[in-house]
């Protein structure tokens, strides 16, 4: 499932591509940093059988990146904001937990969620 999400800046409106995936996809361009990958630590023996893994991917197209820089916006923080709102809309009323994060570069992130079945 892919969806374009409208994001209003001060002077422009940009569209951010959001996808729901079953598996992590290869990054279009991977820039390794100490914070590129993250994982939530759960207690040993945590039962995940009531949850399924779903991945939300945020991608900001090159044609919108200049607008972000002109307005002094951080693309990575915008991706996080849009992912969180998208997750709330998708799975409203269900328990969700962030399981893993992958920040490919400032314009592309993939978050793995545990979503209540």
Res 45: pLDDT: 77
Average pLDDT, the chain: 93
- Report, as an integer, the average pLDDT of 60-70: 95
pLDDT above 70 as % of the chain: 100
Q: Which residue has the higher pLDDT, 34 or 116?
A: 116
Q: Model-level pTM?
A: 0.88
- Beta-ladder partners of 38: 101
Helix (H) or strand (E) holding 83: helix 75-90
Cα four-point dihedral sign 74, 77, 57, 112: positive
Q: Cβ-count burial of 73 within 10 angstroms (0-12 exposed, 13-18 middle, 19+ buried)?
A: middle
Judge whether residue 8 has pLDDT over 80. Answer: yes
Q: How confident is the model at residue 82 (pLDDT cuts 50, 70, 90)?
A: very high
């Amino acid at each position: 499932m892919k969806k374009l999400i409208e994001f209003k800046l001060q002077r422009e409106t940009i569209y951010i591509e959001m996808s729901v995936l079953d598996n992590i996809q290869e990054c279009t361009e991977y820039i390794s940093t100490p914070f590129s990958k993250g994982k939530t630590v759960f207690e040993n023996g945590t039962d995940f059988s009531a949850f399924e893994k779903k991945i939300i991917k945020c991608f900001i197209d090159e044609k919108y990146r200049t607008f972000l820089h002109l307005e002094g916006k951080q693309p990575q923080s915008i991706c996080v904001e849009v992912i969180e709102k998208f997750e709330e809309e998708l799975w409203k009323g269900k328990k969700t937990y962030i399981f893993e994060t992958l920040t490919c570069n400032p314009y592309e992130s993939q978050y793995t969620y545990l979503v209540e079945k």
